[in-house]
Structure 1
Amino acid sequence: MNRTRTFMLMAALVALFMGFGFLLGGRSGALLALVMAAGMNAFAYWNADKLVLKMHGAREVGADHPLHRMVAGLARNAGMPMPKVYLVDQAQPNAFATGRNPENAAVAATTGLLQALDRDEIEAVMAHELGHIRNRDTLIMTITATIAGAISMLGNMALFSSGGQNRNPIQVIAAVVLAPLAAALVQMAISRTREYGADAAAAEISGKPLKLASALAKLSQAAARIPNPVAERNPATAHLYIVKPGAGGVADSLFSTHPAPANRIAALEAMAGSTGPNLSAPADPWPRRRGPSALGLPRSGSDA
């Protein structure tokens, strides 16, 4: 059912892109938009994961790294292929997954995440990222972001091109304002749906829904006060992270790429209650700024 709903949303986004092309160039514009969408999707399918990892300056870690061993155990629990594991030298505690399918996937954690959370919380966060891979969210969100970005780009072209000045004002408003807004709303709707699904998958894979809940509380607080330069330079990457950079708010919003942290935490607490006894220990207090990380790694960005 989730795949059917996502496919329908994706089809609606492509149709929106074609409609936008029709507003700008009639039937030939719609056909050109379809060709462009197919080309962008093909490029995103094969290259988006590499671009995302390069954008973040991610570096792959080997099988002897504690984080790699942790992810390997979780992947076995989930019955999934082992993804590549990366670290990002970034103070903001966060994590993301990318890749076109479970056989060609990667998970990445920031050095700040390893320093901010205890071991069980890190495990729950990485299980969340594996949940995205298992649910094939990574490909869906990459393609959605590609098309939504293209609609916004064409909107700017329509606004500033000389041809746009000769068009019907209503068409220009629809093309420049309404189409990109609708694309953003579809993208955000998919983002919010996938976060709840990945949280549920993480609870299943790690068996620690309350540890994920405590991790989300810590991460959302940290994201609101610790900058994320990559996300600030590239806002379209915000949907990749487990918590939105600059997280905040108390309610799910149409204009947010993520559900409100409080709602996700409540859902995880409900899962823990429905599965019997508490599956996780109480959350540790926020760790000191100095000392080893939860995985026994140094706090510097060199190998943390």
Structure 2
Amino acid sequence: MADPGTRDTSRNGGGRPALHGGGGWHRLGNALKTTVLLAGLTALVLVIGQRLGGARGLMFAGFFAVVMNFGSYWFSDKIALAIHGAKPLPYEQAPWLHQMVERLAARAGMPKPKVFILPTAAPNAFATGRSPKHAAVAVTSGLLQILDKRELEGVLAHELGHVRNRDTLIGTVAATLAGIISYAAQTLFFFGGSMLSRSDDEEGGLGNAFANLGLLLVAPVAATLLQLAVSRSREYGADATGAELTGDPDALADALLKLERGAERVPYDRAPATSHLFIVNPLHHGGVMSLFATHPPIPERVRRLRAMRASTGGSRSRGGWEYAY
């Protein structure tokens, strides 16, 4: 883990910074996006159910959609943490890390999120939860290995920015729904052979079978579109909020550069449907796949953070970052 003895450059207490991200319109926009995602997925499930099972399939799909929407809203955070094998990080194991999260949460004016750790060497982090009162921050063991405390504080501030800006609900719901669609498509391919041609005797016959097969092929693509529906601008917003929380835009910029290199060396391919939750893309990327990237380019994020230094009124010194707040 990062050296607990490293100098902590954040302020203890003091007035809260004037944060500009996560205003009322931003939160309303996220609420509308969440509603659209749930409605779109419900429609897709109903269409698949009707195509594969007729009236009976439609009824089953309707019941499944209700359960799925309820679970996605209330339990998506727990699902996301469980998918990645995240474990609660005991306070006694890393009190300095808990204190850092608590300090940043106080500056953001919200309760301290729960802290989890992912047992992987891939350096990354994500936040989840439907609201600041039900939030969690997860960091990987690899993240704690390669960042110093100043850079780690920048990453944690970014994740708390997502919580404060109400990005975590839509991000976690999108991850859950994308995973459900992908899993359902795989299950139907393995066990739905009879349904795909549920009746060559019925009107349409072979045409219906091909139409159903095409629908199942589209389902994984819809899962990817769900990820892309979570606007990449949310990362810029969380970067800005995180930089305002610490008063040190360069800390997060330096961390992003390290994380990008670390993700290239140690990619993390577990649960691709949740890749957009992380601070940097944990998957293999490049080539045509860059067109479907769920994260904005690291160089552009770093450029924007570097440009914030003058606007924050802070400057580096031998003693660390001099806060403007």
TM-score, normalised relative to structure 1: 0.78
Render the CA deviation track for 1:55-88: whole Å, top value 9, x for unaligned: 3242322177100111111111111111112333
CA 71–261 in structure 1, closer or farther in 2 if over 3 Å, else same? same
Instruction: Give the Cα–Cα distance (whole angstroms) in 2 for the partners of residues 281 and 239 of structure 1.
Output: 35
Matched, 1:260 2:297: yes
| Deviation of 1:174 (Å) | 4.4
Render the CA deviation track for 1:100-155: whole Å, top value 9, x for unaligned: 22112111222222221222111110001111111222222222222223333343
CA 193–127 in structure 1, closer or farther in 2 if over 3 Å, else same? same
Unaligned runs of at least 5 residues, structure 1: 285-304
CA 254–2 in structure 1, closer or farther in 2 if over 3 Å, else same? farther
Match of 1:60 in 2: 89
CA 113–73 in structure 1, closer or farther in 2 if over 3 Å, else same? same
CA 164–196 in structure 1, closer or farther in 2 if over 3 Å, else same? same
Matched, 1:44 2:76: no
Instruction: Give the Cα–Cα distance (whole angstroms) in 1 for the partners of residues 242 and 210 of structure 2.
Output: 47
Unaligned runs of at least 5 residues, structure 2: 1-24, 199-206, 321-325
Matched, 1:171 2:211: yes
Aligned length: 279
| Deviation of 1:6 (Å) | 3.1
Match of 1:288 in 2: none
Match of 1:135 in 2: 165
Match of 1:186 in 2: 226
Matched, 1:85 2:115: yes
CA contact (8 A) 1:209 1:279 kept: no
Instruction: Give the Cα–Cα distance (whole angstroms) in 2 for the partners of residues 193 and 95 of structure 1.
Output: 18
The 5 Å alignment of 1:100-179 reads 100-160=130-190, 161=192, 162-166=194-198, 168=208, 171-172=211-212, 174-179=214-219
Instruction: Give the Cα–Cα distance (whole angstroms) in 2 for the partners of residues 184 and 45 of structure 1.
Output: 19
CA contact (8 A) 1:188 1:258 kept: no
| Deviation of 1:204 (Å) | 1.7
Matched, 1:271 2:295: no
Match of 2:261 in 1: 221
Match of 2:270 in 1: 233
| Deviation of 1:248 (Å) | 5.0
The one-letter amino acid paired with 1:256 is A
The 5 Å alignment of 1:22-37 reads 22-25=47-50, 28=55, 32-37=60-65
CA contact (8 A) 1:48 1:142 kept: yes
**Greater CA deviation, 141-150 or 114-123?**
141-150
The one-letter amino acid paired with 2:294 is T
> Which of 33, 37, 51 is the aligned partner of 1:13?
37
| Deviation of 1:226 (Å) | 1.7
The one-letter amino acid paired with 1:91 is A
Instruction: Give the Cα–Cα distance (whole angstroms) in 2 for the partners of residues 213 and 91 of structure 1.
Output: 21
Instruction: Give the Cα–Cα distance (whole angstroms) in 1 for the partners of residues 127 and 169 of structure 2.
Output: 10
Instruction: Give the Cα–Cα distance (whole angstroms) in 2 for the partners of residues 33 and 193 of structure 1.
Output: 33
Instruction: Give the Cα–Cα distance (whole angstroms) in 1 for the partners of residues 275 and 247 of structure 2.
Output: 27
| Deviation of 1:168 (Å) | 2.2
Instruction: Give the Cα–Cα distance (whole angstroms) in 1 for the partners of residues 317 and 146 of structure 2.
Output: 17
CA 81–171 in structure 1, closer or farther in 2 if over 3 Å, else same? same
**Greater CA deviation, 101-110 or 33-42?**
33-42
CA contact (8 A) 2:49 2:61 kept: no
CA contact (8 A) 2:113 2:136 kept: yes
Match of 2:129 in 1: 99
Percent identity of paired positions between Structure 1 and Structure 2: 44
CA 254–205 in structure 1, closer or farther in 2 if over 3 Å, else same? same
Instruction: Give the Cα–Cα distance (whole angstroms) in 1 for the partners of residues 213 and 226 of structure 2.
Output: 19
Match of 1:299 in 2: none
Match of 1:69 in 2: 99
CA 150–90 in structure 1, closer or farther in 2 if over 3 Å, else same? closer
TM-score, normalised relative to structure 2: 0.74
Instruction: Give the Cα–Cα distance (whole angstroms) in 2 for the partners of residues 281 and 56 of structure 1.
Output: 40
